[in-house]
């Protein structure tokens, strides 16, 4: 019981592992219409689903949900597996399980993408795989668009739209010490020397203004108020606010 881990009510410590011979016999029975053999194949390959979903642990999705989606991919693989091909079932099933999980993650992405755009993206990925297999290299977006008969910019937009967002705290390098995260590679323009000097110059220019002009600019550009709201707050007309604002901005521009 110490190693018992339940996912979707399944005790993972009790999952069976089928031998190659058992797999073949079950597939032969299933293809003759034996539904029990299909169930045994599913149960006997759940460990395969468990091994795949570990790749998606950092996506923030509930493990139970990923497991269920992975099981759908497993069942599709079982139903479509061809015994006559000299391929191990796991070699065939793993990409199908991964593909099912990726589709689920894309469809449930926090960034909503239209169905038509997703359809273009999925077709583009299929064509990309076909061209890669045919030409022995990764095709360009132009080649994919030509094969699909779709404008290049639409294909590029569709492929970009389905990219999965990553966390700023996603590690991109770890040599056993302190890891490097995505955020470590993102520059902060607000802290650049140019911005700092700009901010300093702005502050000095503001200090050259009179009290009323500073108050108007603070209310307009830092508090986000309209000229009418500023006029009501300080007790002058909107036309006066407009005139003082323009004069103050001109004076600051000359100083900076």
Residue 10, domain member (yes or no): yes
CA distance 186 to 119: 32
104 and 131 assigned to the same domain: no
143 and 199 assigned to the same domain: no
Residue 27, domain member (yes or no): yes
DSSP 57: G
Total residues belonging to the chain = 256
Residue 175, domain member (yes or no): no
Residue 189 pLDDT greater than 80, yes or no: no
CATH of the domain at 25: 1.20.120.1810
Question: Mean pLDDT over residues 32-46, rounded?
Answer: 89
Average pLDDT, the chain: 80
Question: Mean pLDDT over residues 175-202, rounded?
Answer: 63
Residue 2 pLDDT greater than 60, yes or no: no
24, two tokens: 């073949």
- Relative to beta strand 180-181, strand 6-7 is unpaired
The number of distinct structural domains making up the chain is 3
Last residue of a domain, one of 93, 109, 125: 109
Residue 123, domain member (yes or no): yes
39 and 134 assigned to the same domain: no
Reported confidence tier of residue 158, pLDDT bands at 50, 70, 90: confident
134 and 69 assigned to the same domain: no
145 vs 221 pLDDT, higher one: 145
What are 194-223's pLDDT values in tens digits? 566 677 777 888 888 888 888 888 888 888
247, two tokens: 């004069």
117 and 144 assigned to the same domain: yes
What are 98-110's pLDDT values in tens digits? 888 888 887 776 6
Half-sphere CA count of 224, side-chain side, radius 13 A:
0
39 and 126 assigned to the same domain: no
248, two tokens: 């103050």
Q: Please name the helix (run of DSSP H) or strand (run of DSSP E) that holds residue 172, with its range, or none.
A: strand 171-173
- Coil, strand or helix at 34: coil
How many other CB atoms are there within 10 angstroms of residue 144's CB atom?
22
In percent, how much of the chain has pLDDT > 90? 9
Residue 52, domain member (yes or no): yes
What are 84-98's pLDDT values in tens digits? 888 888 888 888 898
Domain that holds residue 11: 1-109
Distance from chain centroid for Cα 225: 37
245 and 158 assigned to the same domain: no
Residue 1 pLDDT greater than 50, yes or no: no
Place of tokens 């970009």: 160
CATH of the domain at 241: 1.10.10.10
Residue 172, domain member (yes or no): no
DSSP 8: T
10 and 92 assigned to the same domain: yes
- Coil, strand or helix at 181: strand
Region of 48 on the Ramachandran plot (φ > 0 left; ψ -120 to 50 alpha; else beta): alpha
Alpha-carbon dihedral 140, 142, 145, 150, rounded to 10 degrees: 150
Place of tokens 């099912």: 100
Reported confidence tier of residue 169, pLDDT bands at 50, 70, 90: low
143 and 219 assigned to the same domain: no
32 and 45 assigned to the same domain: yes
225 and 197 assigned to the same domain: yes
1 and 90 assigned to the same domain: yes
Residue 71, domain member (yes or no): yes
Last residue of a domain, one of 145, 163, 181: 163
Last residue of a domain, one of 76, 109, 142: 109
Residue 175 pLDDT greater than 80, yes or no: no
Residue 168, domain member (yes or no): no
């Amino acid at each position: 019981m110490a190693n018992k881990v339940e996912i979707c009510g399944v005790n993972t410590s009790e999952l069976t592992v089928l031998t190659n011979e058992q797999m073949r016999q079950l597939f032969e029975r299933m293809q003759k219409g034996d539904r029990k053999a299909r169930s045994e194949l599913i149960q006997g390959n759940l460990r395969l689903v468990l091994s795949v979903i570990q790749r998606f642990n950092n996506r923030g999705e509930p493990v139970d949900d990923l497991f269920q989606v992975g099981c759908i991919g497993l069942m599709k693989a079982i139903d479509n597996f061809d015994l006559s091909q000299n391929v191990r079932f796991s070699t065939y099933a793993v990409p199908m399980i991964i593909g099912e999980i990726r589709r689920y993650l894309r469809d449930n992405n926090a960034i909503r993408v239209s169905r038509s755009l997703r359809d273009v993206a999925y077709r583009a990925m299929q064509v990309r795989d076909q061209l890669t297999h045919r030409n022995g290299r990764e095709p360009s977006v132009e080649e994919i668009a030509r094969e699909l008969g779709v404008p290049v910019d639409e294909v590029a937009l569709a492929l970009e739209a389905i990219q999965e967002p990553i966390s700023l705290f996603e590690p991109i390098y770890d040599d056993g010490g302190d890891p490097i995260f995505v955020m470590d590679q993102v520059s902060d323009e607000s802290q650049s020397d140019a911005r700092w000097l700009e901010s300093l110059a702005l502050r000095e220019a503001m200090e050259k203004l009179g009290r009323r002009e500073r108050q108007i600019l603070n209310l307009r550009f830092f508090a986000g108020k309209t000229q009418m709201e500023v006029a009501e707050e300080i007790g002058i007309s909107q036309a006066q606010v407009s005139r003082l604002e323009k004069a103050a901005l001109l004076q600051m521009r000359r100083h900076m």
